[in-house]
Copies of this chain bind each other. A is one copy, B any other.
Amino acid sequence: MNVAFTSDNIAGASDSVLAAIVKAAQGNAMPYGNDEGTVQVTNMLADLFECEVDVFLVSTGTAANVLSLSAMTPQWGNVFCHQESHLLNDESSAPEFFTGGARLVGLGGANAKIDPLQLRKAATQKIGDVHTCQPGALSLSQVTEVGSVYSLEEIKALTDIAKEVGIATHMDGARFANALVALKCSPAEMTWKAGIDIVSFGATKNGVMAAEAIVVFNRELVKNLDVLRKRGGHLHSKMRLLSSQMAAYLTDELWLKNAMHANEMMALMQDGLCGIPEIKINTPAQANMLFCTLPDGMEDYLKSKGFAFYGGRWESGVVRLVTSFRTLKEDVEAFVESARRFNTLAAKQSRI
């Protein structure tokens, strides 16, 4: 594979995570989460979030998101999310399937962050009308789908509305660590202290092979996840595969270190690209993802030089760049250098 900035899901796993899998696989262990490792992970996450939590480990981000929603919303509920969210655009009809038919309502808002005014309007109309889907849940993505990060105040503004209308709040934290590093706050501050009832605490994109923790803060609102997970076929018999990854991920701040590296690589890339006037930064990257618009020909040029990334899915010229815990500094520098060179070449050509 080329030097790739396509996604953070193309990287493998950190060494300590792999070592943990190998170690956990020795000997016998009770199945279905009745092993010591799973208890340990729950305790680690309780410490991390500074509160009592229920934890449900699953192996995909889609499972974490849709199981969370299925525990929160009635079957005739509206799930308010951003119209550009992963939930709405990249998880097939899994949300409808798991919730038994709840409806995703895609709201607008700059930088893929939900506009509170739109949320309030959508969540307060036709209340109690049997003909209309009723408010069911709020789901926001932190990091958002375009690489921006909600501030704590922005999260609070949305969850406040949710509390007013009496619906539960979910955070899709597929890139939780990257957001946390960007905000320099505590996990508690970014979640339950800001009004979040349940989080999909993602690890797969940031150093493990497959492990996501559904972390429940509000046990009143979010129920039956043990059965819902089993019913969804997401209860692993050898749970230690998941718990060992998650434990290693949380040990010695690996999760923060990995995210810090990914974010730093993106900052380096953004700095470099900012210096090229022909490139337009669409949304300033706060974490490890950047959307920018390249001048004509640059995308093809960069790809011809061996760089892989996504383009052609959005407006003309728009590309997405993602760094990971494994991204090499020299690869970022080489990418920026190539972009710069294309511009110089283009400038020369246009002068001719």
Give A residues with C-beta under 8 Å from B: 1, 4, 7, 9-13, 18, 21-22, 24-32, 58-63, 66-67, 74-77, 89-94, 96-98, 100-104, 130-134, 204-205, 209-210, 224, 226-227, 230-238, 240-241, 326
Contacts and interface: CB of A to CB of B under 8 A. Distances in A.
A276 to B, nearest CB: 26
Contacts of A9: 31, 237-238
Contact of A60 (B90, B134, B234): B234
Nearest to A77: B93
Contacts of A233: 58, 60, 62-63, 66-67, 91, 94, 98, 232, 234
Contacts of A10: 28-31
Prevailing SS type, chain A contact patch: loop
A93 B227 CA distance: 9
A103 B74 CA distance: 17
A224 B75 CA distance: 11
Nearest to A324: B28
A39 to B, nearest CB: 14
A12 B238 contact: yes
A12 B237 CA distance: 11
B13 A28 contact: no
Contact of A21 (B27, B104, B209, B237): B209
Contacts of A130: 32, 92, 226-227, 230, 235
Nearest to A64: B233
Contact of A237 (B61, B94, B231, B232): B61
Given A12-B28, A59-B210, A76-B92, 5 more contacts: A12-B29, A60-B234, A75-B93, A76-B93, A93-B101
B101 A241 contact: no
Contacts of A25: 12-13, 18, 209
18 contacts: A9-B237, A10-B30, A10-B31, A11-B28, A21-B209, A59-B236, A60-B236, A75-B97, A92-B132, A93-B102, A93-B231, A97-B232, A103-B104, A204-B238, A210-B237, A210-B241, A232-B232, A233-B234
